[in-house]
Amino acid sequence: MKAFVYNVILIFALSAMVQGANINVPANYNTIQNAINAAVSGDTIIVAAGNYTENLLVNKVNLSFVGANAGIPAGQTRLDESNIIGYVKIVSNGISLNGFKITDGAQVPAGEKAGVYIVGGTSGHTIQCNLFTRTGAAPGGPDQFRAVINEFGGVSSLLIKQNKFIGWHTGVYLQNADAVVTNNVMSKNYVGMSIDGAVSVTVAYNSIINNGLEGIGIGPPAVTSLAIEHNCFSGNLTAVANWQSVEINAENNNWGDSTGPYNAASNPDGKGDAVSNNVDFNPWLAACCGDPLHLLPVGDLTNDCRVNFFDFAICARAWLSIEGDGNWNPACNFAAQDNAINMNDLAVFVSHWLECTSSECN
Ligand SMILES: [Ca+2]
Ligand SMILES: [Ca+2]
Ligand SMILES: [Ca+2]
């Protein structure tokens, strides 16, 4: 009995340690860096709306940064911003940055010009619901500022979600990364996204529009695993430019026109954005949901921008199939961690049930 009580106390003590403390800026510390310096692993730093002209060094593991717009996608109407004017340099694992505005970035010493600069070899970061803006920079000129960049040493388990990138040389620059980039808006940059040497990268459900040179540029070294799917491209000089040797999987995107992307060899009648050679873009989505900011919802297999019984019927046929079966349907493998259509996938599907993303719905 004594041992049991001791273990219960120990578990409570450990869980209290895991949860960490909340530190408020400016109530507890008047700068974000002072809050980081005072924090320990696992703490949450809550930053009120306001301007913070600081370059941040994040050097404690498992810190969460919560801005005034945490949980509000950056493409939507926002509250007053927690605005970091400068860069955020991440040198430790497990960092979450949620709900900030990052303005202009700055030169990272011995690094790049960046908004968020992730040191090579780190893992487990989430960059979510942040508005990355740069003003006064002419995309395509000498300006080389990247909103988010990881060092060439690679990064693992990086999630970049529901952010907006506008006015940068490059919105997101991944190098030898293991990352998921989803539900972001990349607009009016020189390059929306650069991907060099993708170890395992998924770029899905993003609006990639009006970028001056490329929506997505893929460079050497040769990619290991890269999927570009369910994105809406429009108004980019080139939507996807492949500069390395491995063919890129870019099926099931919309390219700004129902006739598909333009490629002189493989789709000369395409009226959408141009696509380079060595990109598999067929089949493509005929339309987004009214405009390129309205993406098809997860779970919509009939491309009507609604998740309903028509979609359910398609996946019901594939229920309990595994890869290789006659009724296997990879489009129903929503939770992709296994090669089976099962409860994991149904849970994802149900979470989107009756979702409608058409411009007619909001
Ligand atoms: Ca194909
Ligand atoms: Ca549907
Ligand atoms: Ca599955």
pLDDT in tens, 122-136: 999 999 999 999 975
- Tell me the CATH architecture of domain 298-362: Sandwich (2.60)
- Compute the mean pLDDT over every residue in the chain, rounded to the nearest whole number: 93
SS3 245: coil
Higher per-residue confidence, 181 vs 152:
181
Q: How far, in Å, is the centroid of ligand 1 from the Cα of 296?
A: 19
Average of pLDDT values for 305-324? 96
pLDDT at 337: 81
Q: How far, in Å, is the centroid of ligand 2 from the Cα of 159?
A: 27
Q: How far, in Å, is the centroid of ligand 2 from the Cα of 155?
A: 35
pLDDT at 143: 85
Q: How far, in Å, is the centroid of ligand 3 from the Cα of 327?
A: 14
Q: How far, in Å, is the centroid of ligand 3 from the Cα of 318?
A: 11
Cβ of 335: how many Cβ atoms within 10 Å?
A: 15
Alpha carbon distances (Å) from 307 to 89, 111, 267: 40, 45, 31
pLDDT at 15: 56
pLDDT at 183: 96
Tell me which amino acid residue 285 is: L
Residue 344: pLDDT over 90: yes
Greatest Cα pair distance, the chain, in angstroms, is 78
Q: How far, in Å, is the centroid of ligand 1 from the Cα of 132?
A: 34
Q: How far, in Å, is the centroid of ligand 1 from the Cα of 282?
A: 4
pLDDT tens for each residue of 223-238: 999 999 999 999 999 9
Q: How far, in Å, is the centroid of ligand 2 from the Cα of 304?
A: 5
Q: What is 24-297's CATH number, 2.160.20, 3.40.50, 2.40.50, 1.20.120?
A: 2.160.20
The candidate with the shortest Cα–Cα distance to 125, out of 192, 45, 62, is 62
Q: How far, in Å, is the centroid of ligand 3 from the Cα of 324?
A: 13
pLDDT tens for each residue of 170-212: 999 999 999 999 999 999 999 999 999 999 999 999 999 999 9
Q: Which ligand is nearest to the CA of 249?
A: 1
Residue 16: pLDDT over 80: no
Q: Where in the chain is the domain with CATH 2.60.40.4130?
A: 298-362
pLDDT band at 349 (very low <50, low <70, confident <90, very high): very high
CB neighbour list of residue 19: distance below 8 Å, 6 or more residues apart: 42
Q: Which ligand is nearest to the CA of 282?
A: 1
Residue 304 buriedness (CB in 10 A; 0-12 / 13-18 / 19+)? middle
Q: Where in the chain is the domain with CATH 2.160.20?
A: 24-297
Residue 138: pLDDT over 70: no
Q: How far, in Å, is the centroid of ligand 3 from the Cα of 341?
A: 5
Report how far residue 211's alpha carbon sits from residue 189's, in angstroms, rounded to the nearest whole number.
5
Q: How far, in Å, is the centroid of ligand 1 from the Cα of 6?
A: 60
Residue 13: pLDDT over 60: no
Q: What is the DSSP letter of 126?
A: E
Beta strands 96-98 and 101-104, pairing class? unpaired
pLDDT at 6: 60
The candidate with the shortest Cα–Cα distance to 53, out of 31, 80, 35, 38, is 31
CB-based contacts of 34-41 (< 8 A; 24+ apart in sequence): 36/60, 36/63, 39/63
Residue 68: pLDDT over 70: yes
Q: Which ligand is nearest to the CA of 309?
A: 2
Q: Which of 42-46, 248-252, 291-295 has the lowest mean pLDDT?
A: 291-295
pLDDT tens for each residue of 263-311: 999 999 999 999 999 999 999 999 999 899 999 999 999 989 999 999 9
Residue 1: pLDDT over 90: no
Instruction: Please state whether the predicted TM-score (pTM) of the whole model is above 0.85.
Output: yes
pLDDT at 37: 98
Report how far residue 230's alpha carbon sits from residue 155's, in angstroms, rounded to the nearest whole number.
24
Q: Which residues surround ligand 1, an ion (CB under 5 A)?
A: 280, 282
Residue 215 has, within 13 A of its CA and on its CB side, a CA count of 31
Q: Which ligand is nearest to the CA of 341?
A: 3
